[in-house]
Structure formats: C-alpha cells, structure tokens
Amino acid sequence: MKDIAIKIKNISKEYSLGEISSGTLARDLTSSWAKFRNKVDPNSIIKLSKKTNYKENEKIWALRNINLNINKGDIIGIIGKNGAGKSTLLKILSRITSPTHGQIKIYGKIASLLEVGTGFHPELTGRENIFLNGAILGMTTNHIEKKINEIIDFSGIKQYIDTPIKRYSTGMKVRLGFSIAAYLDAEILFIDEVLAVGDAEFREKALKKMNDLSTSQRKTIIFVSHNLNAMLNLTKKCIYLKDGKIELEGETKDLIQKYLNQSEYKNKITFPDNETIKFDYIYLTNERGERKTSFFYHEHIHINYKYTIFKRCPSLRIAFTISDAFGNILFNSADFPDGKRSIDKIAPGNYLSTAILPKNYFNEGELYLGVSSDIPFKEICLNFKKVLSFSIFFESVKTADINEKFEGALFPQIEWNTKKNEK
C-alpha cells in the first residue's frame, strides 16, 4: 500500500455573498471579539450590491463533500470551469482558509504557489524573500544557503535578485515563487493557474521540473490549470470539479475527453440578413458528431454550416479561413475553389454544408474560424473574419526528456523516406 500524502474527508466550504468592507481598527476589534466569543465574524458577512439578485446573508457552497486520498509522489491535476471550486480547494489545503466542514490530514511540509506575490514581502529583496520563505518552511539558514544558488539560477533573474520585490514584474515574481517552491525542501507542492502568467519558455521549464520532482524525489504535486495540454503533459490522474463537487476523477487522458464532451457549445454569433443568403448557425464537431471547440490532434474537425438561400443565384460559393492568434491566415477553402459549379443555379431553401479538416494536421494551440459567402467575381454576400475559436492539443503525454514545443500553427504528419546512400 502506498504512503498517503493527503487525506481529505467530507470537505465543504460555505461563503457569504457580496463585497467585504474595507478594514479599520474598529472592524478589526469587532472581528477579534467575535472570534473570541466563537461567533460569526460580522465583517465576513458581505454587503451586497443593489444590482445583484441575491438576498442579504445568502450563502453559497464553494465546495461540497470532497473526499480524496492522494499518495506520495502523485501529480494530480484539477480542472473545471471558473467558479468550480479549484482555487478554494487549494487554499484550504494550503491552510490559507479553513473548511466549513470536514477534515484534512497532510503528511509533509507544504509549499504553495497560488497567487502572484503570495508569501513575498514587497520591501525585501528577492534574496531576502528566499530566506524568509525558507524560514516559514522551518529550514535553517545554512540549509537555505546550500540551495540558494540553484533557486536563483532556475529563476533566471540573477541580475535582479538583490532588488526589492515591489519592483519585480508579474513574470519575475512567478519565476522566483516557483523556484523557491521547487528547490526548498517542501514535500507537497500546490500550484495554481499562476503558471499561466509569464513566458512560454519558463512554463515549459517549470512543467519539466515538476515532472522531475515527482519521479526522482517523490514530491506530491497538486496542479490546477485551464491548460489541458499542460495537464496531459504533466499528470496521469485528474479530478474534474463542477459546482463545488467532484464530477469525475480518473486517468487524465480519459477524463479530459469526457470533460470536453460535457462542455456545451453555444454559438453566440448573430448573422445579419442578406438579400441572397443568411447563415443560421455554424458549429464544430468531431467525427462522432459531438459539438466541441477543443480537439485532440488525432481528431477530424467538421465545420458545419446551416444556411438559407432566399433567391436563385448563379454559382453561390461558401468558404472559410483558418487563422492563428495573431490574425495571420493559414489557409482558406471553398465548396468549389475554381468558381465553377456543376449546377450554376442554386434554388432557394435551407441547406447544410460540412467541411472536414484533416486530423494530424494542426499544432497545439488556439485557432480562429472565419466564414464567408460570395458570387465569384461579382458579389461578396457575407464575410466574417472570426466567427469562433477552437483549440488543438496533443493526446500523447510527453516525458521530461521529450518536453518540447514545435513552432508554427501547423504540424502535419509528413511521409518521410530515408535510405542509406551506398555510393
């Protein structure tokens, strides 16, 4: 039986709704007196905006009946939409806030990277904050001094290490915070979405380091992120939180697929009327007909058009463009590219067209779909640059030794033929 690192039993967290008042000495004294008498802190009951539909003192459950056993050396991912309870769970585990109900047992020293700048004293230098964080973890000065060069080197901010933290950029704080968490002797790491801040190079470096910590040093890592690629690359087990409850848990690959299948796609684009044609809706599916906006690399992507033609017109053409996040058009396609259709008259009525994008073609990342309709060389009927976005991510889990990112928006599988030249 594996050693337990974290044991969570029936954890729930209740919050009052609204906006917390600004702090004053009088309010601090009121809060302290309430705590002393074991009463509810009146300043934790949040004052509601007049614009909300909530009633005063109404409560919400951020977490409900969470039960988990996490073993030493595990890397567990937590996914879910905003407001699902992911960050609340990490804050409870980090002892930043207390649960309303339930018990938590943690076996080991904890290091947390939940918010940018958390645990830093703004007036102290980066170097001084390393010693401060080490002391909080219970380490001696001699032990921190043995680690400090590794921490500074990994952070990549050596030239600024003796500068006060208040002058650091957000990315610099993230670099230093992660380096401290990774190199000081914490046995359990809690990493929130904070790694989404900063440059891609450091994110890749951080993910590789977390993999190393888990495999070689058996450190336990709880990782929260909206980046499904990072989840696949780093974790083998995953938890899907929904409305404060555990909706699904299991192998990362299978769970992410189920998570994507559960995600509802709603086309919010309103297409204006045109005397010739109107797009009723446009949506994306995989080969199984599941509506999605996130796809595995190995999946075909179906672009589905439903449209209405109001009048008979010659050679009406439907087209689309695929562009990257910077607006660069990668390619375009039309239902008859040469401008000639076998039937040159299109009758009025309702139509459904589907274009199939090939699998094993796009690199991981976000792409944009643009759609249009025209009568070649005569009239542009409709033209929309960005109708919706969709993302591609790799299914295969990269190891720490093959943790690389290929450049470009496309990553097609090209047939290679290599043979030894005997001449």
- Average pLDDT for the chain: 80
Are residues 302 and 155 part of one domain?
Answer: no
The most confident of the ranges 122-136, 224-238, 404-418 is 122-136
| Range with lowest mean pLDDT among 23-27, 184-188, 282-286, 348-352 | 23-27
Are residues 136 and 248 part of one domain?
Answer: yes
Q: Compute φ and ψ for 291, nearest 5 degrees.
A: -70, 125
pLDDT for residue 25 is more than 60: no
Are residues 360 and 243 part of one domain?
Answer: no
Are residues 153 and 225 part of one domain?
Answer: yes
Residue that wins the pLDDT comparison between 195 and 241:
241
Q: Is residue 71 part of a domain?
A: yes
Instruction: pLDDT band for 402, please (50, 70, 90 cuts).
Output: very low
Residue that wins the pLDDT comparison between 161 and 311:
161
Are residues 208 and 68 part of one domain?
Answer: yes
Are residues 382 and 284 part of one domain?
Answer: yes
SS3 sequence, the chain?
A: CCCEEEEEEEEEEEEECCECCCCCHHHHHHHHHHHHCCCCCHHHCCECCCCCCCCCCCEEEEEEEEEEEEECCCEEEEECCCCCCHHHHHHHHCCCCCCCEEEEEECCCEEEECCCCCCCCCCCEHHHHHHHHHHHCCCCHHHHHHHHHHHHHHHCCHHHCCCEHHHCCHHHHHHHHHHHHHHCCCCEEEECHHHHCCCHHHHHHHHHHHHHHHHHHCCEEEEECCCHHHHHHHCCEEEEEECCEEEEEEEHHHHHHHHHHHCCCCCCCCCCCCCCEEEEEEEEECCCCCECCEEECCCCEEEEEEEEECCCEECCEEEEEEECCCCCEEEEEECCCCCCCCCCEECCEEEEEEEEECCCCECCEEEEEEEEEEECCCEEEEEEEEEEEEEEECCCCCCHHHCCCCCCCECCCCCCCCCCCCC
- What is the CATH classification number for the domain harbouring 74? 3.40.50.300
Average pLDDT for 305-314: 86
* Burial state string for 10-43 with b = 16 or more CB within 10 A and e = fewer than 16: ebbbebbbbeeeeeeeeeeeeeeeeeeeeeeeeb
Q: Which domain holds residue 157?
A: 4-10+63-262
What pLDDT is stored for residue 49 in this prediction?
Answer: 45
Q: Is residue 103 part of a domain?
A: yes
Q: pLDDT over 90 for what percent of the chain?
A: 20
Alpha carbons 376 and 387: distance in angstroms, whole number: 22
What pLDDT is stored for residue 149 in this prediction?
Answer: 93
* Residue 256 structure tokens: 């992410």
- What is the CATH classification number for the domain harbouring 316? 2.70.50.60
Residue that wins the pLDDT comparison between 188 and 2:
188
Are residues 323 and 256 part of one domain?
Answer: no
pLDDT for residue 164 is more than 50: yes
Are residues 250 and 155 part of one domain?
Answer: yes
Domain count, the chain: 3
Are residues 189 and 68 part of one domain?
Answer: yes
Are residues 39 and 107 part of one domain?
Answer: no
Are residues 173 and 249 part of one domain?
Answer: yes
What global pTM score does this model have? 0.62
pLDDT for residue 10 is more than 60: yes
The most confident of the ranges 15-24, 42-51, 133-142, 160-169 is 160-169
What pLDDT is stored for residue 124 in this prediction?
Answer: 92
Are residues 292 and 219 part of one domain?
Answer: no
Residues 65 and 12 sit within 8 Å (Cβ to Cβ) = yes
Q: Is residue 420 part of a domain?
A: no
Alpha carbons 100 and 89: distance in angstroms, whole number: 12
| Range with lowest mean pLDDT among 210-224, 341-355, 380-394 | 341-355
